[in-house]
Structure 1
Amino acid sequence: MVESVKEWSYHSIIIPYILQSNSLLDMGTGGGEFLSILPFPTKTIATEYYAPNIPIAKKRLEPKGVSVIPIEDENNLPFADEQFDLIINRHEYFNPAEVARILQPQSYFITQQVGNENDIAINHKLGAPNPEDYDPNWTVDHLAKQLSENGMIIKTKRSLTYTTRIFDIGALVYHLKAIPWQIPNFSVDFYKDKLFELHQEIQTKGYFDIESQRYLIIGQK
């Protein structure tokens, strides 16, 4: 699987903000892979909701001085009011009111979110139901409006669609196993006929293209 060139680099966008920050929160750090390569400030905290990721993130980030905080309720974060002067969020759920509460005045929240139509062609091709969290109202305008209603000034609001090209059916199966929310209860046995049809299409054409979607929002309190 290969992704086409995107119109922005989340990594490049957040670096100048990080270099000017004194306290950073990385929401939904996963295994800490992304945060670990950033030049984060001394006061940096990472959160993670998915339990299997937490020991991985701790092992990777805590030797670098980053506290990893397990989150049980994403709508009630265990942080003081106005604790951070920068919050970054890459593909993680957030509660706009909580973001505004823990962010210092004049400070920034930068998020890249997965769009509501992301990779939906896979579901259509395999005759599968929509992703578990599919919401037709999940648009960049909707997210920006939620932040605005909680006192944030929207500095940047962008949406992009790019191509992900799949060259091998095994890569697609691996991908769907890694993101189980895309097709609920996905199994090779259940979708074997559709998978074989798509395999034949890839063998003939050489690839199968899907559209992926991302949103980018930068808000200032």
Structure 2
Amino acid sequence: MDYDELIDEGLTTPFEGWDFGVFRGRYAEASVTDLPWSYPQLVRDQLPAAASLLDLGTGGGEVLASLAPLPARTAATEGFAPNVPVARRRLEPMGIEVSEVGDDDQLPFADSAFDLIVSRHESYDPTEIRRVLAPGGVFVTQQVGGGDLAEVNQALGAPEHEYADWNLRAAAEELTAAGFTVTWEGEARLPATFHDIGALVLFLRITPWHVPDFTVERYAGPLRDLHSTMSAGQPLQALCHRFALVARP
């Protein structure tokens, strides 16, 4: 396909939940199995002692559903409106309530409501986590760090992430200040590759926080330059930034 066809495809390809199968062969991140830890296993390690579970930012509910069997009382939140019906279709038949939330990280639950709170790639307020977490409870999170795919921003001439300083140390310090003790932590950077400009445009379309002012018109020059480079067999190489923590109040 030529440039215009790829751009149009990136702008119109349907995408729901966080199923990245649509990118197969066009955008590739290192497998989650390449991380020095397993987020699902971090959660499973805590499930036997948890009578209740809250999943923050469940996306389409894919990861949460994969962790079954789950505690009898399990709930989830999602802040990205297009994902809410997807998550409800997947999770409500499992008896899991999905609550739509806003951008302020405030949670629509009572104090001490959950034994285990988990967050995969979702923002959170440490004080609010402390409020909703039951005494003796556990918070498990894997986060996208502030250096994530910074090479994309550089290639486009776009500003760096507003959250560029978000890393393991910053997260651990925030949790400690909120009265948590971090009991386990890890951080890693893994390779990612964009093979064509359509895949890059689709990625930026579904992650509007990555380049907040992105439009194909505003970034037409860099996009055409990248298309020429990619078409010549030189994909855009970048690094994914991930870190994870387990903490107790």
Identify whether the pair has TM-score above 0.5, normalized to the shorter chain.
Answer: yes
Q: TM-score, normalised by structure 1?
A: 0.91
Query: SS of the counterpart of 1:93?
Result: coil
Name the SS of the counterpart of 1:34 in structure 2.
helix
SS of the aligned residue for 1:105 comes to strand
Matched residue type, 2:50: S
Give the aligned partner of residue 49 of structure 1: 79
Q: In structure 2, what is the equivalent of residue 216 of structure 1? A: 244
Structure 1 residue 200 and structure 2 residue 228: aligned?
yes
User: Match for residue 95 of structure 2?
Assistant: 65
Q: CA deviation at 1:104?
A: 1.7
State the alpha-carbon separation in 2 of the partners of residues 115 and 65 from structure 1.
32
Tell me the alpha carbon deviations over residues 181-203 of structure 1, each in whole angstroms, 9 at most, x when there is no partner: 11123222332221121122223
Amino acid corresponding to residue 42 of structure 1 in structure 2? A
In structure 1, the residue matched to 2:154 is 124
Query: How far apart, CA to CA, are the structure 2 residues paired with 1:188 and 1:115?
Result: 25
Query: Retained in 2: the 8 A contact 1:112–1:214?
Result: yes
Shift of the alpha carbon at 1:75? 4.4
Using the TM superposition, give the Cα deviation of residue 114 of structure 1 relative to its aligned residue in structure 2, in angstroms: 0.9
What is aligned with 2:56? 27
Q: Which residue of 1 aligns with 2:44?
A: 15
User: In the alignment, is the contact (CA less than 8 A) between 1:129 and 1:184 conserved in 2?
Assistant: no
What amino acid is the match of 1:179?
Answer: T
Alignment of 1:174 onto 2:207:
no
Tell me which moved more, 141-150 or 70-79.
70-79
Aligned-residue sequence identity (percent) comes to: 37
Name the CA distance, whole Å, in 2 between partners of 1:155 and 1:28: 23
Structure 1 residues 148 and 139: CA distance shift in structure 2, 3 A: same
Report the equivalent of 2:17.
none
Q: Give me the whole-angstrom Cα distance separating, in 1, the residues matched to 2:245 and 2:71.
A: 22
Whether 2:28 is the aligned partner of 1:2: answer: yes
1:75–1:175: structure 2 CA closer, same or farther, 3 Å change rule? closer
| CA shift for structure 1 position 9 | 2.1
Aligned to 1:106: 136
Q: Which runs of 5+ in 1 are unaligned?
A: none
Indicate the RMSD between aligned Cα atoms, in angstroms: 1.7
Name the CA distance, whole Å, in 2 between partners of 1:97 and 1:140: 18
Q: Secondary structure at the match of 1:116?
A: coil
Match in the other structure for 2:187: 159
* Superposition pairs of residues 135-154 of structure 1, within 5 angstroms: 135-154=163-182
Deviation at 1:160, TM superposition (A): 0.9
Change (3 A) 1:124 1:83: same
Per the alignment, do residues 122 and 72 of structure 1 end up closer, same or farther by CA in structure 2, a change over 3 Å counting?
Answer: closer
SS in 1 for 2:107: coil
Once residues 200 and 72 of structure 1 are traced to their aligned partners in structure 2, the CA distance between those partners, rounded to angstroms, is 40
When residues 173 and 76 of structure 1 are mapped into structure 2, their CA distance, relative to the original with a 3 A threshold, is closer
Shift of 1:73: 6.3
Matched pairs, number: 219
Gaps of 5+ in 2: 1-26
